[in-house]
């Protein structure tokens, strides 16, 4: 640090600071004070984007890009994923568990911010801005790469071990092990169904063979009776007019017409009408 | 405006994060507050790197980001497994180790 170095930053940077500094502060405060966790995450994204711009302004374009890609792009999305898994409604309770804890925390925070802020401001008020030429600013990424792969090579390699450990740890923690044999096979399921109930087939849905498919219309059994057990619970069963039941060959009509495949003229029988409607 | 403004802003952000850790009860929000504290420290590192005219501080901030990413992955997995057993993400409900 040379004593005659420039202390004051440029006006453009000051403008950026005074615009984005309050934005970052508002994001941080909004994160702490918003009741919904999703809102907290979005406020934090706000702060992180502002910090990313600060990095770019302070001649660290690589870190600015990494901040926006890794923090706001990856980490906050991970937070939102977990929020959605845990449940969006798991907001904080308003009840204080420890009495007076919030007031104490606020007092502590104001005191800490005052002490540290004032101390830093006094200690670094003539912190020089090292003159970075345009060529140096352009060489930001090569300079980082040079240092990263020479002086900080060991730390860089250890980082890979850390990352693989974190990935394995997350998989182990998030994995749910089913006990072997706890999952019933198709055979066991069908055996249970046939042995325990007197009605092995699947229950018919409401409205089957009736003229309505409403949940209030009971299904009709093959002999024409209404099956009350198919009506949804909590609904008053309706008396539904049922389709005329074909009794003989004449009423069934032409089987081809009933299928609706061969001749296009709809016959007057119920089966034929269904085929015609289908077309 | 001097560089110390950045440092004061970082100190204030750090304090807000710390107060959030103390005040909030939702484990995920507490985690976000920790992230805010890490971010403010990164701002300090970048500012000092600029003051000294080197990129060592930027590399430290880079490593902080890497460690924070790993920490978030493991921490969120822990929160998930706690939620699975206790059906709650509140830090007050994870009290099995309490005397």
Cα-based torsion angle of the residue sequence B48, B51, B52, B57 in order, rounded to the nearest 10 degrees: 30
Q: How far is the C-alpha of A49 from the C-alpha of A46, rounded, in Å? A: 5
**Is B13 within 8 Å of A25 when comparing Cβ atoms?**
yes
Residues A92-101: what's their mean pLDDT?
A: 73
pLDDT per residue as tens digits for the range A243-270: 555 555 555 555 555 454 444 444 444 4
- Mean pLDDT (chain A) is 78
Contacts of A244-250 with CB under 8 Å at 24 or more apart are: A244/A270, A246/A270, A246/A271
Contact call for A132 and B53, based on CB within 8 A: yes
| CB interface of A with B, residues 29-88, below 8 Å | 29, 31-32, 37, 40-41, 44, 47-48, 51, 54-55, 58-60, 62-63, 66-67, 70-71, 74-75, 78-79, 82-83, 85-87
Q: Is A141 on the interface with B (CB under 8 A)?
A: no
* Cβ separation A67–B69 shorter than 8 A: no
Is A117 in the B-facing interface, judged by CB distances under 8 Å? yes
pLDDT, residue A157, reads: 95
Q: Which of A105-109, A223-227, A255-259 has the highest mean pLDDT?
A: A105-109
Interface touch A147/B56, C-beta < 8 Å: yes
Q: Round to whole Å and give the CA distance between A178 and A176.
A: 6
Q: Which contacts (CB < 8 Å, 24+ apart) does range B18-24 have?
A: B18/A109, B18/A112, B19/A32, B19/A105, B19/A106, B19/A108, B19/A109, B20/A31, B20/A32, B22/A101, B22/A105, B22/A108, B22/A109, B23/A32, B23/A101, B23/A102, B23/A105, B23/A106, B24/A32, B24/A92
pLDDT surpassing 60 at residue A93:
yes
- pLDDT at residue B40 in the model: 95
Cross-chain Cβ contact B20/A31 below 8 Å? yes
* Whether the predicted pLDDT of A3 surpasses 50: no
Q: How many CB pairs under 8 A join A and B?
A: 238
pLDDT bracket for residue A272 (50, 70, 90): very low
Residue-level pLDDT at B97 = 80
Q: For residue A242, name the pLDDT band (cuts at 50, 70, 90).
A: low
Closest to B36 in 3D by CA, of A7, A275, A79: A79
B4 contact residues in A (CB cutoff 8 A): 120-121, 124-125, 127
Tell me the per-residue pLDDT of A24-72, one tens digit each, with 9 for 90 and over: 999 999 999 998 889 999 999 999 999 999 999 988 999 999 999 998 9
A161 touches chain B (CB under 8 A): no
- Comparing A133-142, A252-261, A266-275, B5-14, the range with the smallest average pLDDT is A266-275
In the prediction, which pLDDT does A210 show?
Answer: 61
Partner-chain contact B36 A47, CB within 8 Å: yes
Q: Does B13 score more than 80 pLDDT?
A: yes
User: How confident is residue A92, by pLDDT bands cut at 50, 70 and 90?
Assistant: low
- Judge whether A210 and A217 are in contact, CB under 8 Å: yes
Q: Which pLDDT score is estimated for A126?
A: 79
> What is the rounded distance in angstroms from the CA atom of residue B63 to the CA atom of residue B52?
19
pLDDT at B98 over 50: yes
DSSP-H helix ranges across chain A: 11-33, 37-57, 61-66, 76-86, 101-123, 134-138, 140-148, 153-174, 186-196, 249-252, 255-259, 270-278
Asked whether the beta carbons of residue A109 and residue B72 sit closer than 8 angstroms, the reply is no
DSSP A12: H
- Whether the model clears a pTM of 0.80, i.e. scores above it, the answer is no
CB atoms within 10 A of CB A154: 8
DSSP-assigned states of every residue in B41-82: HHHHHHHHHHHHT-SHHHHHHHHHHHHHHHHHHHHHHHHHHH
Q: Residues of B with CB below 8 A from A128's CB?
A: 51
């Amino acid at each position: 640090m040379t004593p005659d170095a420039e202390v004051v930053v440029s006006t453009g940077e000051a403008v950026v600071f005074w615009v984005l500094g309050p934005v970052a502060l508002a994001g941080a405060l909004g994160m702490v004070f918003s009741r919904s966790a999703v809102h907290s995450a979005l406020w934090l994204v706000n702060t992180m984007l502002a910090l990313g711009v600060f990095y770019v302004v302070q001649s660290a374009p690589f870190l600015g890009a990494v901040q926006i890609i890794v923090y706001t792009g990856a980490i906050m999305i991970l937070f939102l994923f977990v929020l959605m898994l845990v449940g969006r409604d798991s907001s904080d309770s308003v009840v204080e568990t420890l009495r007076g804890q919030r007031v104490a925390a606020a007092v502590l925070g104001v005191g800490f911010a005052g002490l540290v802020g004032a101390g830093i401001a006094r200690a670094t008020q003539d912190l020089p801005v090292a003159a970075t030429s345009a060529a140096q600013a352009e060489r930001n990424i090569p300079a980082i790469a040079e240092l990263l792969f020479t002086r900080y090579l060991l730390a860089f390699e250890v980082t890979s071990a850390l990352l693989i450990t974190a990935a394995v740890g997350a998989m182990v923690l998030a994995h749910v092990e089913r006990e072997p044999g706890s999952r019933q096979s198709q055979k066991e399921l069908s055996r249970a169904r046939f042995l325990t109930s007197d009605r092995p087939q699947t229950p018919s849905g409401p409205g089957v063979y009736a003229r309505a498919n409403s949940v209030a219309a009971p299904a009709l059994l093959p002999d024409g009776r209404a099956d009350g057990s198919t009506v949804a619970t909590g609904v008053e069963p309706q008396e539904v007019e049922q389709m005329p039941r074909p009794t003989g060959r004449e009423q069934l009509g032409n089987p081809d017409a009933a299928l609706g495949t061969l001749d296009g003229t709809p016959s007057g029988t119920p089966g034929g009408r269904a085929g015609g409607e289908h077309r | 405006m001097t560089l110390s403004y950045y440092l004061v802003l970082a100190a204030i952000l750090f304090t807000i994060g710390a107060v959030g850790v103390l005040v909030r009860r939702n484990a995920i929000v507490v985690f976000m507050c920790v992230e805010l504290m890490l971010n403010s420290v990164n701002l300090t590192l970048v500012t000092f790197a600029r003051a000294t005219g080197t990129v060592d501080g930027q590399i430290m901030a880079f490593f902080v980001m890497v460690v924070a990413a790993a920490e978030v992955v493991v921490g969120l997995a822990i929160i998930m497994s706690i939620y699975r057993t206790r059906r709650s993400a509140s830090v007050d409900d994870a009290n099995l180790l309490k005397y």
